[in-house]
Structure 1
Amino acid sequence: MLLIRPISGTDFPALLTMAQESGAGFTSLPLDEQKLAHKIVHSEQSFAADIQKPGDQGYLFVLEDTATGEILGASGIEAAVGLSNPLYHFHKSTVVHQCKELDIFNPVEVLTVGNDYTGATEICTLFLREPFRVGLNGRFLSKVRFMFMAEQPQRFSKLVIAEMRGAADEQGQPPFWNWLRNSFFNMEFSKADYLIGVGNKGFIADLMPRYPIYVDLLPEAARKVIGQVHENTVPALKLLENEGFMHRGYVDLFDAGPTVEAQLKQIKSVRQSHRAKVVITSDEALRKGQFQLAVCNCESREFRATVTDDCRFDPDSHSLYMSPAMADLLKVNEDELVRYLNLDKGAK
């Protein structure tokens, strides 16, 4: 069976492997052993803490194949970004240059550096290893975060964002960064990417342009990729757009990838996931369902989630019929509550 659970210290080798496989530009998985080890410890502390409002917590989940013990992927949530380290974005907006006497009306686009998302919750670190990008794995790994947030809303902000990886050329270099490097920075993208990944952002305030940048003055290669995602990120963006996330003009400083946002209560998987009472049965006929359901317990530190069609929701008793093996996997008992979500496409 597939199991999503909080990361633990024993998952460090798998997390290091995913950091190696994710490549440049995936700043939430920096190729730095000390930083990765800290992320695990920080996540364990966050899941264990009694939280009444969002702060400097980070939650990291792993997807495990219980038959083999292999870790297939990871996903994460940062409870409130920009509190200990500033979070910078470019915001693309329109400025109008107008002269009535000459009958000239000229709207132009500009990029302005800001910290508008300070305090927002960020979903991040969605990475599914290449051999396992099949079936419902990616959807399950993405949506389980929203189920956890629906169950633990006090831990998160009302506004949720996701920074999407920006477009890159055949050499893996973002065209937008090539312009930025030549104009303001004297370093390779790999170094800037590493510094961001380990939380060293002071150089941004020191070197980033302080005034609005006129988009029309940028090289064509840089202009074309503003708000565009990396080809490997297209499926993740589609998942979020289906959840109700929207792009409102904010882009990454270095690769110009879009940042998308949604109100927590309006996220599709938050609205469409529901609690139900557990009924444990060995009778396959009673629990055989028509849909693939993601099911999680209502815990934090001992959070567990799985996906199955061997589980049926009964609307009359508002109960979820599951096997003893599934109940053990989720660490739930008879009559306890779980949260479920229909993963089939088009589910309402």
Structure 2
Amino acid sequence: MSFVIRPAATDDLQHLYEMAKLTGGGFTNLPPDRNSLSSKLEGSEAAFLREGPEIVGETFVLVLENTKTNEVRGTCQLFTAVGHQYPFYSYRINTLTQYSKELDRAVTAELLSLVNDLGGTSEVGGLFLHPNERAGGLGLLLARSRYLFVAAHRHRFGNRILAELRGIIDERGGSPFWDAIGGKFFGMSFQEADEFNAIHGNQFIADLMPKHPVYIAMLDEEARKVIGLPHPSGRAAMRMLENEGFSYQGYVDIFDGGPTMLADTDRVRSIADAHHGEIVEDSLEKGEKALIAAGEFKDFRCCYGAREIREDGIAIDAQAAELLHVGKGDKVWSIAR
């Protein structure tokens, strides 16, 4: 396979812009706006070049490149600490139970409370694979390469990590959840609010969104039934996250009500089980299928390959060695496929 994950560069702007136009909305981390994407790429390049150990709220953008055609066919992102520049808002589902002695009746109600208690958490997101490449495990390569990047640069990420999944979007491109809550206060459609958030951030939510909890029972049925559900296209991503150790803990996106998945960083499967070793052979003919990564920061690369873990190091196949620009004596991170 000729595909490799590498850091995005400013030269990738056109590729990312073309992919952003294919997302169908509700994809905040990949807006179809050149200026926003350009700023994101510039910030990412600065993050890859910074050498300090501090966690300062950066974004790393990775891309999937077909090395035979030099085309970028997918992308994913890592955020070292959300809420560093602007508060990171979520709704958290809480339960309130009240009892009336006169009626001898207890009533339990669920509420949506606006919170920013996930601030400082790292995030994996922004994953998009070109529709023509959705075969051969490339989506899995994009998703899990992020965890090998975290394993290789653990000091730049927090102790918790989250992933936001896009919520239910109707055939109009609108959000029943937004229409029932945010739309009532902002006079904006979901698409307008989502685009504004992608480009300008969500400080406007803090400025105008009511701070009191919202009783879920008072929302219309269309809004109630989508809370905490992923978009149909995100169900496979949710299963992958669960396989990595993420879980839904009652946090939902303030725009579309999609679920926020959380995990302890060091307990994410592809981080906890990642193997770090020195290459003792770079022409392995048969071995365990794996994701293999090499290089630090701007030199990071990840691909599929074959590995054999030995007492004195690790053996990898020749194609992986070529894609990763490594050989005997170099060190790699790997995880079984």
Match of 1:313 in 2: 308
Residue pair 2:281, 2:328 contacting (<8 A) in 1 also: yes
Identical residues among aligned pairs (%): 35
Q: State the shift of 1:313 in Å.
A: 1.0
Aligned partners of 2:47 and 2:256: how far apart in 1?
Answer: 30
Aligned partners of 1:148 and 1:202: how far apart in 2?
Answer: 30
Residue pair 1:280, 1:327 contacting (<8 A) in 2 also: no
Q: Give the unaligned 5+ runs of structure 2.
A: none
Match of 2:328 in 1: 334
Secondary structure at 2:57's aligned position in 1?
coil
Amino acid at match of 1:232: S
**Equivalent in 282, 287, 291 of residue 288 of structure 2:** 291
Residue pair 1:276, 1:320 contacting (<8 A) in 2 also: no
Residue pair 1:51, 1:154 contacting (<8 A) in 2 also: no
Amino acid at match of 2:324: L
Aligned partners of 1:182 and 1:312: how far apart in 2?
Answer: 52
Amino acid at match of 2:299: E
Q: State the shift of 1:230 in Å.
A: 0.7
* Displaced runs of 4 or more, over 3 A: none
Match of 1:29 in 2: 30
Match of 2:317 in 1: 322
Secondary structure at 2:53's aligned position in 1?
coil
* 1:1-348 matched pairs, under 5 angstroms: 1-282=2-283, 287-308=284-305, 311-323=306-318, 325-343=319-337
Aligned partners of 1:186 and 1:312: how far apart in 2?
Answer: 55
Aligned partners of 1:74 and 1:114: how far apart in 2?
Answer: 29
Give a deviation string over 1:3-44, Cα, whole Å, max 9, x none. 100001221110101111112100001121111011111111
- Going from structure 1 to structure 2, the CA distance change for 1:277 and 1:209 (only over 3 Å counts) comes to same
Secondary structure at 1:269's aligned position in 2?
helix
Residue pair 1:48, 1:300 contacting (<8 A) in 2 also: yes
Q: Give the unaligned 5+ runs of structure 1.
A: 344-348
Secondary structure at 1:23's aligned position in 2?
coil
Q: State the shift of 1:290 in Å.
A: 4.0
Secondary structure at 1:93's aligned position in 2?
strand
Secondary structure at 2:109's aligned position in 1?
strand
Match of 1:346 in 2: none
TM-score, L = length of structure 1 = 0.93
Give a deviation string over 1:255-294, Cα, whole Å, max 9, x none. 1001110000000101121012113445xxxx12343211
- Going from structure 1 to structure 2, the CA distance change for 1:41 and 1:235 (only over 3 Å counts) comes to same
> What is the RMSD of the two structures over their aligned residues, measured on CA atoms?
1.4
TM-score, L = length of structure 2 = 0.96
How many residues are aligned here?
Answer: 336
